[in-house]
Every structure is written in C-alpha cells, then in structure tokens.
Amino acid sequence: MRGVFLQRSGLVCALGADLPAALACLEAGGVTPARLGTPPQAWPCFTIADASAAAPDWYARARRLIRAAVAQCGEVDRRAPLFLASCSLDVGAFEDATTGPGATHDCLVLADAVRAWLDWQGPVHWVSTACTSSHNALLAAADGIRAGAFTHALVLGVELHNRFSSAGFGALQLLDVRRPRPLAADRAGLVLGEAVAALWLGDASARWRLAGGANVVSGADPAGASAAAVAAMCRLALAQAGLTPADIGLIKLQAAGSPANDATELAGLRAVFATLPALTTLKAEIGHTLGASGAAELALLCACLESGVWPRPRAAAEPALDAAFASRPPEAPARRYLLANILGFGGGHSTLVVEDCA
C-alpha cells in the first residue's frame, strides 16, 4: 500500500485570500463575522472579503475563488482525479437568478463548470455528504492513491454563502447571534462561513501524511452527534493507521459552539482516550464552512503547525466539560499524530489521522 501525503494546499476564507494572509490575520487577532440579510434573519457569517457574498454573478465569483485556491497548490497534473466536495453546491446561483453556464441545471452543473474553469482533463468526482463532504472526498482520494489506482488527486472543498443555508440553520435554532464560542458555558450555536480549499495529494513523501481515517453514519440523531459514533470513528481510524489512542498528541475538534454537540463530541472521545490530548478548534476563526470544512480546516491546521501561529481560546471552557483548548501548539514529538474531526447532518461522523513527518 502506498503512502498518501499532502503535497501542497490552498485556502481562501474569511481570514484572507491565501494561507499566508490567513496566518497573518489569525496572528493579528482574526476577523469579526459580517452580518448578512435583513433583521430578524441577519445572521453573522464569516465571509470572504474579496467582494460582497451576495454578488449578483454567483458563478463569476465562484470561478475567481476556486482558481485562486487551486493556484496556491502550484503545478498540478490536470489529468489526475479531482474530487469536488460541497454541501450547498451552486444554490446561490438560483437565489441570484444566475442560471449557470448550461441551458439545463442539475446537481452536476457546478462540477462541469469547475472542470471547464480549471481546464481539468482527468475524471471529476462530486461528493456531497453534508458537512462531512470534503472529509469523505479526502478519504476516497486517499484510498485510491493507497491502492495504486492513481498517484495524485486534487480535493476541492467549496462552500459559498447562500440564503438557503442560513435560513435552514436559523429555522432549526442552531445559529448564534454572536461570534461562536465553542466549549464555553454560554455557547449558543454555530456561525456559518465561506471557504474554498484545495488539497493536492500524492504518494511522494512530504511533511503531512494521511495515516488513516473513518466515516461513521449513525441514525441516532440525524441533526446531531452521537457519542457512540464519535468513539467508533476514532477506533476505526486509529486501527487503519496502526496506532493507539496514546499516540495522538492533538485533536482538532468539530466544536462549532453547539450546546449539545460540543459536549457529545467530548463524551465520545472520552470513551476512547483515557486522557484527552491537546485540543483545538478553528470554527471560532473561520466559521462552520459546511461541506468545505474538512479540507479548509486541514489546510489551515497544517499551516498553523508549520508556522507556530495558533488560534487563541476566545472564551473559558465550561467547567463541567473538564476540557479546554490549548493556548499553543503541542511540542514535537508529542504532536506527531493528530486527529481532525468533522461531524455533520444526517448522522455523519468523520475523522482523519494525520502524521507530522517533519
């Protein structure tokens, strides 16, 4: 079985137009989410600052941002497979009366558009499994590389603001009216965000190796997390990587600020880890970017560990949770292996085991 390595990555998000800009913004204190819409539906949202998130030409904006994220990966083989992951796809184009590049419109129009924008010659796979979309795209791409089906793949996570997503989460009373406060006693919900992330994977050795991963679907709570499923995904991912819980030095939590899910995720982890390792989350800095979150947060997390720039805890953790975010990255070699969790609607629970080979 071949190794799978993150060769290069690109990210456009609320923190900046590329990874260096995002790190500089994070080090300077981050950004405050914008407010979109009209009261009482003017929810906070971590928007990309290139232009208004409600720009009339949705496709023109998507093309610009996707090309910008992929360009950060440098030279890539456009004959390789491309895995396009998104939760809302191009629903924003419907809202703004943009019909898209084709005469007909179905779920594959965005995939066809991305192929044209990037002049992509290889196969394009569309992955949409709610918030776990780009994690599942990463798992699928990694499986193909390990099996020798191909040597490289591009995983592209895309999530741009639309009123449909905000209205849906708002109607379910899952959104906070302030900045999200993961693990805090007064946490009141999540805040959505925009992101476009590009991850170029290959079998040549690099600093970050995808050592394992798992996706577990549980119907126990279609709109929330299951502690048993969180524990199961961790055990499966560790088994694939050939590791024990004691090998993990850092966990990037889902931790979006949900009163129930934050606690449930920790309960599931405690069923596996006798002592929790260092913890962090990125959703207080870029928001919950839905289907793009797995790719976006992996790109940003690896960049943070490489640079030493670290998300500062923004609120004290609820004492009853008996957990807190690390104020600085763990020192090597303790952080050699890390877990990156993404939980989503429909009972999706996914995690990646990543090795720091530095």
**pLDDT (tens digit per residue) in 71-111:** 999 999 999 999 999 999 998 888 776 555 554 567 788 99
Mean pLDDT of the chain: 93
Both structure tokens of 36: 């979109």
How confident is the model at residue 115, as a pLDDT? 97
How confident is the model at residue 56, as a pLDDT? 64
> CA dihedral defined by 192, 197, 203, 208, rounded to 10 degrees?
-60
**In this predicted structure, which of 38-47, 242-251, 291-300, 336-345 has the lowest mean pLDDT?**
38-47
How confident is the model at residue 103, as a pLDDT? 47
Both structure tokens of 258: 């949900």
How confident is the model at residue 87, as a pLDDT? 93
> CA dihedral defined by 202, 205, 206, 210, rounded to 10 degrees?
60
Q: Where are the domains of the chain?
A: 5-202, 208-356
How confident is the model at residue 39, as a pLDDT? 67
Task: Find tokens 């992330």 and name the residue.
Answer: 197
Question: Rounded distance, CA 255 to CA 190, Å?
Answer: 9
pLDDT tens-place string over residues 269-328: 999 999 999 999 999 999 999 999 999 999 999 999 999 999 999 999 999 999 999 999
What would the mean pLDDT of 207-213 be, rounded to a whole number?
Answer: 98
Is 208 a residue whose pLDDT tops 70? yes
Of 260, 290, 96, residue with least CA distance to 191: 290
How confident is the model at residue 333, as a pLDDT? 83
Cα-to-chain-centroid distance, residue 179: 18
Q: b/e per residue, 246-285, with b = 16+ CB within 10 A?
A: ebbbbbbbbbbbbeebbbbbbbbbbebbeebbbbbbbbbb
Show Cβ contacts of residue 222 under 8 Å, excluding neighbours closer than 6 positions: 345, 346, 347
- Edge-to-edge strand list for the sheet holding 5-13: 124-127, 82-85, 152-159, 195-202, 5-13, 208-217, 348-356, 337-344, 248-252, 278-280
132, 342 contact by CB (below 8 A): yes
Helices and strands, number each (H, E), in the chain: 10, 13
Tell me which of 3.40.47.10, 3.40.50.720, 3.40.50.620, 3.40.630.30 is the CATH number of domain 208-356.
3.40.47.10
How confident is the model at residue 280, as a pLDDT? 98
Is 42 a residue whose pLDDT tops 70? yes
pLDDT tens-place string over residues 117-126: 999 999 999 9
Cα-only R_g, the chain = 19
Is 53 a residue whose pLDDT tops 60? no
Same fold across 5-202 and 208-356:
yes
Comparing 101 with 115, which gets the higher pLDDT? 115
Kindly report the number of other CB atoms within 10 A of residue 135's CB atom: 33
How confident is the model at residue 57, as a pLDDT? 84
CA distances to 44, 230, 255, 351 from 168, rounded to whole Å, are: 14, 25, 20, 25
The verdict on domain 5-202 having CATH code 3.40.47.10 is yes
Kindly report the number of other CB atoms within 10 A of residue 97's CB atom: 8
Question: Rounded distance, CA 296 to CA 70, Å?
Answer: 13
